[in-house]
Structure 1
């Protein structure tokens, strides 16, 4: 069995890092992916989907340090579903991508750095 997903898209926000009660650091961000297609009237349409990305350990540290809103990323990881009950007793469901590898494909277009196409690969460490 295999649970693997690869997404290429743009960071929708600057990464946010939080710390768990046990001291583990978790970095999260949203990633936008888009697809184009022709509708029944042959007009070009674009559909954007938003994905929650969660990064742990060294990947999270590097993402927090180097990623800003608008950066193009390739994220490889696994799909993780969650279920919880809110304060009103309603069952809620969520889906996130647990990142196992993040490739930095391009910085945001307004970035001041001359190296806008640097690709840095971060593999999941141990």
Structure 2
């Protein structure tokens, strides 16, 4: 099975870089994607969906170096559901209302808009090693 998520939007926070226990860099940031449409009465409406994006490895270092709050980006990756429910992660805000977080593991980030000096046009994750199944493991 396979799925891919493509999101275009703006960073809502500056990126934060940290390291896994194995020493792999991870950069995370929040990004907003807006959808504009007109309701049945013809009034313009705007919906904003927030995502928490993470990218790993050398690309995490590049993203941390060149991204900043407000920067337009296109992210390709996969949605990471809550392991317990299979849905977005649900949480309670300080005011008691419920919220949801859509978490994305980025495979590729494309910087949109004017490029700051020295910034690369895209950041792609390293390809994971794919292990071929043994012939006796194939179910057909």
Please indicate the TM-score interval, normalised by the length of the shorter structure: 0.7 to 0.9
Unaligned runs of 5+ in 2: 91-100, 128-140
Mapped to 2, the partners of 1:19 and 1:124 lie a distance apart of 16
1:22 is matched with 22
Residues matched between the structures, number:
112
- State the secondary structure of the residue aligned to 1:37: strand
2:108 is matched with 101
Which structure has the larger Rg? 2
2:75 is matched with 75
Counterparts in 2 of 1:50-89, with a 5 A limit? 50-83=50-83
Q: Is the 8 A contact 1:15 1:29 kept in 2?
A: yes
Structure with higher strand content: 1
CA displacement at 1:119 relative to structure 2: 6.5
Unaligned runs of 5+ in 1: 85-91
Mapped to 2, the partners of 1:107 and 1:17 lie a distance apart of 23
**What RMSD, in angstroms, separates the aligned Cα atoms of the two structures?**
2.2
Q: How high is the TM-score relative to the length of structure 1? A: 0.78
Q: How high is the TM-score relative to the length of structure 2? A: 0.71
CA displacement at 1:95 relative to structure 2: 3.6
Spell out, residue by residue over 1:89-118, the C-alpha distance to the aligned partner (whole angstroms, 9 max, x if none): xxx65541100000001259xxxx5x6xx7
CA separation of 1:64 and 1:7: change in aligned 2, threshold 3 A: same
